Amino acid sequence: AQPLQMCFAVARMAGWLPERVTVEHVAFGSVLGADHRMLRTRAGHAVKLSELLDEAVERAQASMAARAASGRGGAEPDDEAQGPPADPGDAGIARALGIGAVKYADLSTERTKDYVFDWDRMLAFEGDTGPYLQYAHARIRSIFRRAGIPDAGAEGDALGTAPALSAPEERALALALLGYPTALEEAAAAAAPSKLCAYLYGLATAFTAFYERCPVLRAPDDVTRRDRLLLAATTARVMADGLALLGIDAPDRM
């Protein structure tokens, strides 16, 4: 940090850096191995990013195959969003999951702090992980496929903008959605993508609570069904947009 401060100061003195231009040193912590030392290979060499991402994709594909074999792929048997899960051999989804998991683990940590690189934690489908957020998005898209609505975003536009929010979980989800602009502003102002990650995880958690307690396709009446579809569609759009800003793909199936 100090050498860069000196560099900026000298650049201003020399007239190379006008006062109207703002410069900032965005500091980062370190990535640690299981031994809590700088991440290295077994041979002691620094890990290459390309090799790490290749391994992430391979591990994601193995994880998808294991979930499919155990019956955990796709939605639960009694889930209204059930449908054919993604092909565990789908290289595109494995790539999205593997690389997304690494990106999210890196970006969700407070920028200046060190973190331990842990494959099992990164690729988990539960907790504050990239795959958990991607699965939440895929689950919403599966609701719309089962309803015969191909584009959740278009349906959201057509549904209107005033859901009744009769259930506490509906209100909690709506409030979480309203927090998106603020989360973006705070993340940008602090150069802290972890703030956006924390918001998206909170949104996914709010949607899970809503989804478990408020049937969408099996809602008690057409008006409630419409309102819940609107909430689901808006959540999918925000999730996809937030993940895209983090450079993470949001698959439609998992």
CA distances from 27 to 3, 137, 253 (A): 12, 31, 36
Residue 141 burial class via C-beta count within 10 angstroms: exposed 0-12, middle 13-18, buried 19 and up: buried
What is the gyration radius of the CA atoms in the chain, in angstroms? 21
**Residues near 248 by Cβ (< 8 Å), separated by ≥ 6?**
96, 99, 100, 103, 104, 130, 133, 134
- Name, in order, each residue with C-beta under 8 angstroms of 85's C-beta and a sequence gap of 6 or more: 68, 73, 74, 75, 253, 254
Instruction: Give the lowest-confidence range in 85-99, 104-118, 206-220.
Output: 85-99
Q: What distance, in Å, lies between the first and last C-alpha atoms of the chain?
A: 42
Q: Is the pLDDT of residue 169 over 70?
A: yes
Q: What is the predicted pLDDT for the residue at 246?
A: 97
For residues 148 and 142, give the distance between their C-alpha atoms in angstroms, rounded to a whole number.
10
Greater pLDDT, 77 or 183: 183
- The conformational region for residue 15 under phi > 0 = left, psi -120 to 50 = alpha, else beta, is left
Sequence letter at residue 144: F
- Structure tokens belonging to residue 159: 């549904």
pLDDT at 237 over 90: yes
Please report the pLDDT score of residue 78 as a whole number.
38
Q: How far apart are CA 81 and CA 144, in angstroms?
A: 8
| Spatial distance between the Cα atoms of 52 and 102, rounded to a whole number of angstroms | 9
Confidence at residue 215, expressed as pLDDT on a 0 to 100 scale: 93
Which of 27-41, 117-131, 142-156, 192-206 comes out lowest in average pLDDT?
Answer: 142-156
Region 183-210 average pLDDT: 96
Are 34 and 118 contacting, i.e. CB atoms less than 8 angstroms apart? yes
Six token digits for residue 23: 């410069």
CB neighbour class for 117 (10 Å; exposed up to 12, middle 13-18, buried from 19): middle
205 has a pLDDT exceeding 90: yes
pLDDT of residue 75: 45
Q: What is the pTM of this model?
A: 0.83
For the record, the structure tokens of 77 come out as 């048997």
